[in-house]
Amino acid sequence: MALNAPTERTRIARLPKRGDYSQETIYGILDAGFLCHVGFVVDGQPYVIPTGYGRAVDVLYLHGSAASRMLRTLAGGVDVCVTVTLLDGLVLARSAFHHSMNYRSVVILGRAVAVEGDAEKRAALRVISEQIVAGRWDDVRKPTAQELKATAVLALPILEASAKIRTGPPLDDEADYSLDVWAGVLPLAVRAGEPVADPRLAAGTKLPRYLSKVAG
């Protein structure tokens, strides 16, 4: 399935020049993250829940406890809004009004469906695991039948989506450029630290290469 052209729901209205509807941009942002926020409504009450995700081709996978209200609700075919935001910097202007942030974000609209069958679930869980820490899935014990039964997995087709991006320096009022106030961008990034071993780690267990590559 191909990503649809922008729709009335996904077309950027506020600062439209920041909008991007290309598959390359949208998939690139999704692949650079692993945490999304899932918005849905139950009996008139809106909820927004953070959760991990993984992308495979044109599908976004979500997972959690089979008892999760969010997953049970979404599996019922309700409308869902999934957002992913990567914060790249604080934009510090000369005026309070023009302060901003540099970011890359994606909004996906649609309806999710439950992933059924142990083989399909395992494949989807692998996608999520590899998105969070590439190489981890092949290193660990795989889910048992009982664990799969206790886990719900949803697939959300990436058909109706948009990206919004801000880059560059602050945009001040022309009269403010002469003010004696520092202005510019404070870059921000999520960075892996030094891995901390489990106190019960078996003696002699070595740090996996895939972790040593991203640590520090």
pLDDT tier at 46, thresholds 50, 70, 90: very high
Question: Is the Cβ–Cβ distance between 3 and 161 less than 8 Å?
Answer: yes
Strands 100-110 and 45-56: unpaired
Q: What is the CATH number of domain 16-171?
A: 2.30.110.10
Model pLDDT for residues 113-154, shown as the tens digit of each residue: 999 999 999 999 999 999 999 999 999 999 999 999 999 999
pTM for the predicted model, two decimal places: 0.93
Model pLDDT for residues 63-83, shown as the tens digit of each residue: 999 999 999 999 999 999 999
User: How many angstroms separate the most distant Cα atoms in the chain?
Assistant: 67
Question: Is the Cβ–Cβ distance between 155 and 59 less than 8 Å?
Answer: yes
d(CA 32, CA 29): 5
* Lookup result for tokens 């992308």: 55
Question: Is the Cβ–Cβ distance between 55 and 132 less than 8 Å?
Answer: no
